[in-house]
Amino acid sequence: MNLWKRAILHVDMDAFYASVEQLDHPELRGKPILVGGSPESRGVVSAASYEARRYGARSAIPMARAIRLCPQAVVIAPPRMERYREVSDLVFAIFNRVTPLVQPVSLDEAFLDVTGCQRLHGDPVAIARRIRLSIKRETGLTASVGVASCRSVAKIASDLDKPDGLTVISVEETLERLAPLAVSRIWGVGPVAGGKLEKLGVKTIGQLREWPEDALVNVLGVAGSSLYRLARGIDDSPVEPDGEEKSVSHETTFARDVCDLGELETVLLGLAEKVAERLRRRGLAGRTVFIKLRYDDFTTLTRRKTLPAATCLAAAIARHGVELLRDRTAAGKRPVRLVGVGVAGFTDQPAQKVLFRETEQDDARQERLERTADRIREKLGKEAIQRASLKFRG
Ligand SMILES: [Mg+2]
């Protein structure tokens, strides 16, 4: 069996709402269907059947315009969301039988990380085939699946052979397969970025690769940096199941109430370190730092602040946590029985791509330091590095 080091599936139902309508109403099969808001209320198309797409009708355009393009279309307005949700549940139940690592993008689209279930379910291509078969059997509908070693390439792949397609792009093939594709195939490249790239003469992903990273950053800002990587099929963003925690925090309850501000700060530092380690392990970074405090009379409060950029660094979390503690609580004046610190407001960017505007150089060095500490801890156990990694800037 051919085991993949990392295997991500992107599953996308074909013309989902329209297909459900054709499933439930056999007389509509083979006919152009438009599902969405009514033209009178200036509605928008949510889904167009493939028969309607031939005339240029597609989702996200005004319904009135779609009807002009394809006057013979059967219009279904409003959409029967309840029914689509029902079918969607069947589809997601199939995903969940394969792996718990399912990240829904919408009712009809999801990423699956199948890296860890290859021994159980077979190689990723076999898994993709089985999923497509189950969907067809259990719902009567077709799905297109992309198989790759990261999310962005899987997403591109699922779209290459729609409808009812299965496209596999292995790590080895990635550069070659991406090269001839339009840059707009990359998730996140919209008309604005696309226009800027076209001015540079960049139309394909292969042409995009001819540009150095700093040139792309000049033209597109931070996005240029991630484009540089995505054009090379480099994307280690994790598949994050829905309902995942929306914050990462640690707290501690004291055996005896603490009045000393310095003591509280030291404890908070240790907690910040644990928070940062967990953030980095999960590839997360967040823009909100918060603290939790419980006084001796059990009054509990949280204080939060939003940072200019996301962080996954113990030093930054501790710095802002201590600031909140000093400025916005009565710590040091009233006895405290519990203190906690956490990070929320996760950004889509993987932590290592986050830019730190204020103290960029410092933070980059700090991040390297803390990551090295993570690795040593992993190898030698928790006790190997204690506070040494934490360069606290109070
Ligand atoms: Mg779809």
Q: Answer whether residue 390 shows pLDDT above 50.
A: no
Residues 163 and 217 in one domain: no
CA of 15 relative to ligand 1 center, distance in Å: 5
What number is the average pLDDT over the span 211-221?
A: 92
Average pLDDT over the chain, rounded to an integer: 88
Confidence bin at 11 (pLDDT 50/70/90): very high
Q: Answer whether residue 284 shows pLDDT above 60.
A: yes
H helix count then E strand count, the chain: 15, 12
Global pTM?
A: 0.63
| pLDDT tens sequence across 168-193 | 999 999 999 999 999 999 987 888 88
Domain-ending residue, one of 144, 174, 204: 174
CA of 378 relative to ligand 1 center, distance in Å: 41
CA of 268 relative to ligand 1 center, distance in Å: 46
> Does the residue 33 lie in any domain?
yes
> Does the residue 91 lie in any domain?
no
Bridge partner residues of 252 (DSSP): 339
CATH number of residue 73's parent domain: 3.40.1170.60
| Number of domains within the chain | 4
Choose the catalytic residue: 21, 51, 109, 273: 109
Residues 255 and 378 in one domain: yes
Q: Cα–Cα–Cα angle for 148, 149, 155, nearest 5°?
A: 45
> Does the residue 394 lie in any domain?
no
Other C-beta atoms closer than 10 Å to the C-beta of 361 total 8
Q: Answer whether residue 298 shows pLDDT above 90.
A: no
CA of 13 relative to ligand 1 center, distance in Å: 4
Burial 244-274 (b: 16+ CB within 10 A, else e): eeeebbbbeeeeeebeebeebbebbbbbbbb
- What residue numbers bound the domain in which 20 lies? 16-82
CATH number of residue 376's parent domain: 3.30.1490.100
Note the pLDDT of residue 35: 96
Confidence bin at 245 (pLDDT 50/70/90): low
CA of 54 relative to ligand 1 center, distance in Å: 17
CA of 12 relative to ligand 1 center, distance in Å: 5
Q: How many CA atoms lie within 13 Å of 303's alpha carbon, on the beta-carbon side?
A: 15
What number is the average pLDDT over the span 358-365?
A: 59
109 is a catalytic site residue:
yes
Note the pLDDT of residue 362: 66
Most confident of 39-43, 127-131, 299-303: 127-131
CA of 389 relative to ligand 1 center, distance in Å: 46
CA of 14 relative to ligand 1 center, distance in Å: 5
Give 236's DSSP letter: -
> Does the residue 239 lie in any domain?
no
Confidence bin at 394 (pLDDT 50/70/90): very low
> Does the residue 240 lie in any domain?
no
Residues 111 and 64 in one domain: no
Query: For 80-89, 125-134, 354-363, which range has the lowest pLDDT when averaged over its residues?
Result: 354-363
Residues 303 and 185 in one domain: no
Residues 279 and 374 in one domain: yes
CATH number of residue 205's parent domain: 1.10.150.20
Confidence bin at 381 (pLDDT 50/70/90): low
CA of 186 relative to ligand 1 center, distance in Å: 16
Residues 141 and 210 in one domain: no
Residues 130 and 39 in one domain: no
Residues 77 and 192 in one domain: no
Note the pLDDT of residue 240: 85
Residues 283 and 384 in one domain: yes
Q: Answer whether residue 358 shows pLDDT above 70.
A: no
Percent of the chain at pLDDT exceeding 90: 64
Residues 319 and 385 in one domain: yes
Residues 160 and 197 in one domain: no
Domain-ending residue, one of 82, 116, 131: 82
Residues 252 and 366 in one domain: yes
Q: Answer whether residue 346 shows pLDDT above 50.
A: yes
Note the pLDDT of residue 107: 87
> Does the residue 326 lie in any domain?
yes
> Does the residue 2 lie in any domain?
no
Question: Checking DSSP bridges between strand 8-13 and strand 109-113, what pairing results, if any?
Answer: antiparallel
Q: Report d(CA 37, CA 45) in Å as an integer.
A: 6
